[in-house]
Every structure is written in structure tokens, then in C-alpha cells.
Chain A
């Protein structure tokens, strides 16, 4: 029997690692993976609460998150490929043409 608190703490740690990944990596693919990691951390928290409250809502929400994440990855990766085709580079630190 594992206390739910432990899952919550683990979820928070994974979420933070994901956030750091988004901030410090320059490769958009890794940034993307970090976003996925953050989504996973959130999912973990939701499933944990779902089992505590004995309700399916949390799990179903996770199901939708997975579906949306799949859609997001498909479009996101297509965008990255397209950017690479036009700029021959995917380093996010060199994409600042929207500078004010």
C-alpha cells in the first residue's frame, strides 16, 4: 500500500524536470519531449486522485489528454520538419525573426 502523497510528489518532480527541459534545451525536439513529460506528470497526478476518489473522471480525462497529445505531436512534428526544410536549422535560439 503506497500512500497517494508519494505519487503526488513524484508527479511534481517529473513536472519540474519537464519544465526545466523546455527552458534550457535548444533543440525543439527535446523541448517537445519535455512537454510530453510534463503532460505525463499531470496524468500521473490525475490517475492518482482518480483512484483516491474512486471516480473514473480522472482516468477518462487522462484518456483525452493522451488523444490530444497524439494530435499535438503529429502537427508539431510536421511544423518542425517544415521549419527545417525552409531554414535548414532547427535551433530555437536562431529563430528570432519575430523580434520586436
Chain B
């Protein structure tokens, strides 16, 4: 058991339990907070995997911006807790069963496909994190320049769309 592995197991436990916490909380605000915690742990995984830039993006965009937006909306609408209803009685058991099958299938498939790399371990990241960032920037702005620009337009469209949707209509 290396230190890395111990760290990984602890973090994995945290992330799974926060995910379950999000799933099971009655109160939506708690769900959101659990999810924030989950995102942060995933960011740490990114660091461990040698992707510091993605980790930072994860924290700022997901854990920061997006989740704050969620909390805003939850509190704006005042729908922290919904009244109980039982319209689709078969939904929960069916969903649970199918999800279990899905998990088994997914893990099995990923491992089969990844068998050739199964023994590969994650690289030592601490040494070359700056190089990593520089190289990634080069790739992003050469090979992936067009998708990058398209993404900026997509964000603009989303922004305009959100404003138009929530704007008060003039009589």
C-alpha cells in the first residue's frame, strides 16, 4: 500500500459517499452542497492524474460558478423540499435494478477494453506540471483552435439564450 493508493482510497470513499449524499438528501440545498464536495474530490483526482489545468477548471467552473448558480436558483424558487407523491410507483425499483446492471456492465466493459493498460500506473506528476500546462496550451490553440472558437460562440449563445428566456415580457 503506497501513500498514493491510501490517498486514492480515502478520496474515492469520500466522492462515492458525497455522491450518494446528493442522491438521498431530502433537502435540495444539502444535495447541492454534497455535490460541491464531490466535485472538489474529483479535482484532486485530476491532480493525481497529472492534469492540473483541468483540476483548476473543475474547481472554478464546476464547484465555483455552476454550483453557486444552482444554489441561487434553489433559494430563488424556494423549492428545497417537494411534497411526497406516488405517481410512478414502479420507477424506483426499476431504476435501482437497471442501474445495478449498468454499473456491472460498465465496469466490466471498461476493464476489458482497458486490459492492455491495466497494469499501467499514473505518472509522476509533480515534476512536470508547468510543462504539462504549456504543452496543453500549444495543442489547444493549434490542433483544436476551431473547436475552441466554436465553444466561445456557444457560450455567447447560451448567455443570450438565458437572458432572453428569463426576461420579463413587455405587455
In the complex they form, whether A and B have CB atoms below 8 Å apart is answered with: yes
Cβ contact within 8 Å between A3 and B119: yes
Interface residues of B, CB < 8 Å — how many? 82
Most A CB within 10 A of own CB, among B58, B103, B123: B103
Q: Does B69 contact A (CB under 8 A)?
A: yes
Cβ contact within 8 Å between B23 and A34: yes
Question: What B residues does A30 contact at CB under 8 A?
Answer: 22, 28, 31
Most B CB within 10 A of own CB, among A25, A54, A84: A25
B35: min CB distance to chain A, Å: 5
Main secondary structure of the interface of A (DSSP, over half): helix
Question: What A residues does B151 contact at CB under 8 A?
Answer: 64, 67-68
Most B CB within 10 A of own CB, among A33, A50, A93: A33
A38: min CB distance to chain B, Å: 10
Option from A6, A37, A57, A82 in Cβ contact (under 8 Å) with B12 = A6
Question: What B residues does A6 contact at CB under 8 A?
Answer: 8, 12
Q: A69 to B166, alpha carbons, bound, how many Å?
A: 19
Interface residues, chain A, with chain B CB atoms under 8 Å away: 1-21, 23-27, 29-30, 32-34, 36-37, 40, 43-45, 47-54, 56-57, 59-60, 62-64, 66-75, 77-82, 84, 90-91, 93-94
